[in-house]
Structure 1
Amino acid sequence: MQRPTEPDTPLGPHDLRHHGDAEVRDDGSQLTDLAVNVRTDTPPSWLREHIAASLTSLAAYPDGRDARAAVARRHGLAPERVLLTAGAAEAFVLLARALRVRRPVVVHPQFTEPEAALRDAGHEVRRVLLRAEDGFRLDPSAVPDDADLVVLGNPTNPTSVLHPAALLTRLARPGRTLVVDEAFMDAVPGEREALAGRTDVPGLVVLRSLTKTWGLAGLRIGYVLAAPETVADLERAQPLWPVSTPALAAAEACMTPRALAEADTAAHAIAADRAHLLAGLAEFDEVAAVPAAEGPFVLIRVGRAAAVRARLRDLGFAVRRGDTFPGLDAHWLRLAVRDRATTGRLLQALDRALVLAGR
């Protein structure tokens, strides 16, 4: 069972503003980056060229109608159910500012920006903490009945757990907004358990990002799928022209059949590379990985994690600390899934780091 919902308390030791990019700043060019969950060798050349072609239109104000229609077609929705945003992070800020909620709940461990945005907007946030001994699986009954906003990720960052769609829909009810962050869903083969495109779930809001699969973190493009009235509320909270012309061009290009097929191929490759990583990690008695990983990253528990992380850095690898996520402590690290050659070098470095950290 999940731990009881935490009362509204100070944030304690969890730095909600710490993200993987902090691990590779300054000397990051000298490190193999396993801290940021962006697919390597992206954006692909065809996408870079498409974005570059949009630069001839920079004198005009951005027009998001075509990109919005493309996203709507991709998910089988009407355009009024789509809102384009400057990355999924902007969507969390819009939700926190625009929705009239009184009892928000965030399910942790997960991406910390939703809670940070809610707190910045003056909301008191309750937490439901999933437990390692339960495999970080969700029990819907752990979410308080009076919650009028529930936020969770699927697959969840950093645990990589993919919750069944049927389980998540049990959280929906009249008078409640259910926000599901599907930023990594396109890294799941077939996008099984996705709720994007569903219109039969009351209060459902799905967030998507194009950052991870397509390597567009610097461009900032994502989108919201929700009921038209919710989209309208969020759109009123946006500044004028919030998404740039190059970002709109990227969004439209990533919705094409060619792009979707490429993303699915990449998802199958990630699944194979993740299995290879998990098999290698299983060889270490000191390391326990969350076994049901379905995202492009894995979460591991290891003694002396801070020292291991520092030693890995000395050996040329940046990994993500886990203690900034509510529900985790200093024994956790998150590793991005990479190709087999990179994983092989990581496992050798981890073997050495465990020895050095024990001294």
Structure 2
Amino acid sequence: MPATVPLASLRSKAVRPPSHEAGPAVASSEFTTTLSNGHSVKSISSQSIAELAALAQGNNEEAIELLLNIAGGNELAEDASRRLLSLYATSRRPDIRASIEQQADALFALEKLSAPRPDKKDKADKTAPLVSVPASLLYLAGVHARETKATNRATEIEAKLQSQCFPAGVASERLLEKDRFITSDELLVRTRGFRQCPVHSVLLEHGNDNFPEQLRIAVAAGLPRSVFVNVNGNHWVTLVLRANREDASKLDVLCFDSNARIPEGSMHRLETACEEAGLPIATWVTEGGLLQEHAPHSCGAYAVWVAQVSDELSGADEDCRLEETLSTLRVHWERSGADDLHALVIAERAFMLQCLADTRPREPAVRLDR
């Protein structure tokens, strides 16, 4: 999976959004894949993936189904999965998002039916196509199962996600629930590739005894740097620490809080805690507004996006100010339709789970002819 989740719907004059394009070139190859209706499609190449993605933007269900089948298992699976997630995140059409969810759910059902049974010897044709639904698409299948109240299917999908993404005994509960609090592991794995403005490797709890020490460690590790802070036990904010332009011995701090309605004084106490930690703060800017009223329970997604934008803009022209960029993005997010913004948050959650799954041993794919 790529290092960034697509945010193409957030375009503005002030910012170039994180890339959702094809990324590095994929070596050309051809193969035969099989649709769930049994039809075989031959000679699909890496160049064809882009063409399929273009067709899928018009809700061509065959194109979406073919991308899902490709994503289910072969050498081009990663590219197909990435394009599907990008399409889900950036499409303004609910019918396209629904098609992706439904067919991801159908692919999971196919994988389940194709799995080997302990009471039956495996006599499968070893040339039969393989299927293994990636975690990102499995999450979208779970969203569909939950929204259609398919309780048993949702439970099965959640169990599958748990095994793909988390070690035994430490799995996150309620993976498919909208109000689930994003774990520190998800945030850190999701942002570990940031280089221009890296994320501090320890997530902080506001009020903990180690809070001042970890802030000092973050600054000493080099600037600019992002720090994720858990405020009030269930809300992520992002601190972006940068050297002051006029006096490099001092700090400019941008605090991005997506919920200005958290208990009054929380952000002031956070600023005070940073000052008491001995940080030489020159400026403190708070941004974020009331974004969670547009997409509830999305603080983890916003925390990641702010760190991502900070990473992409670090080292850019002096005229490109982070505060102005994030203010423009915040206004754009606020003006986005609730459904579109919610889809973007769902895609980010799916991508975070995929990042976790990519750090775990891969489960074997199963053959479709079982």
Normalised-by-shorter TM-score class: under 0.3
Normalized against structure 2, the TM-score is what?
0.27
Using CA pairs under 8 Å that are at least 6 residues apart, name the structure with larger relative contact order, 1 or 2: 1
Normalized against structure 1, the TM-score is what?
0.27
Give the number of the structure whose alpha-carbon radius of gyration is greater. 2
Larger helix share, 1 or 2: 2
